[in-house]
Structure formats: C-alpha cells, structure tokens
Amino acid sequence: MTDKAIFAAGCFWGIEDKFSTVKGVVETEVGYIGGKTKNPTYEEICRGDTFHAEAVRVFYNKEIITYDQLLDLFFEIHDPTTLNSQGPDFGTQYRSAIFCQNDFEMLSSENKIKELNRSKFNNKIVTTIELNDDFWIAEEYHQKYLKKKKFNFFIK
C-alpha cells in the first residue's frame, strides 16, 4: 500500500537523494510547496518572493516503512535548528518544514518534534508543521539531479 509524505529541509537535491535510497521508498520527486504563486519556476523560488519551500515528495510502501521512520530520517539528514537555512543556502525556500496531509501526520510530526526537543535538540527545533498545499513539481533537470550528475553529495 503506497502513501506519500512531503518534507522540506534545504536544497531538495540532497534530501531527495537520501530518501530515494531508503528501503520502502518507492519513488521521490522534487518540487515547490507552501508559497503564494501558482506553478512557480526555480528562478522565482530563488528570488525568495514566492515563499515556497524546496521540498521532496516521498512515495512509500507503508507496509515496509512507517511515517514515523520517515520522520526519523528527515530529522537525521538535516539541521532542524537553523531558521531558513541549511549549510550555505539561505532563504525561506530552504526552511525546515513538514507538510502534512491529515491529522495522523500532524500529530505524529508534533510528537516527534516534542520528543527530539526533549532528548536531543534542547527545544531548539524550528521546523514548521504546515498543511499540505499545492505541490508544484520542479523542472525536469532538478529530478534525481545528484544521480544524473553522479555527485557524491553529503548532507549533515
């Protein structure tokens, strides 16, 4: 049974690459979410005036991997304590966010943040939990970018 989840954690190339290697993840695609412009382009996103986040949509087999396990990976592969930035990238398009499509995902995300704030991050997580909005698929050249370019990309 396939479900989907959407995460933003900085530049979408590395995040997509990490999620795509996980057992139970069926497919990934990168795009833009959480902004005010319909069908935005990469150039518009980079200017920072659309307020979209670069994000990855993860299609997963929930009989193999759970939403909670995806959340664990999400928090492992980026720094959720930096506001609107990851590594050298700065701006709202690089924010840390979880885009939930239902109450289960919302509650799971809230509980995960509470748990990690207590156990690991000392109440410093700035990750937002947002309602799943229109997801605009990024231009083709962004899809599987690191695999196409054969980069050995390390995040966090």
Residues classed as catalytic:
11
Say how far apart CA 89 and CA 135 lie, in whole Å: 21
User: Do residues 61 and 17 touch, judged by C-beta distance below 8 A?
Assistant: no
Strand partners, 128: 97
Q: Record the tokens describing residue 92, joined without a space.
A: 């709202």
Which residues lie closer than 8 Å to 141 by C-beta, 6 or more apart?
148
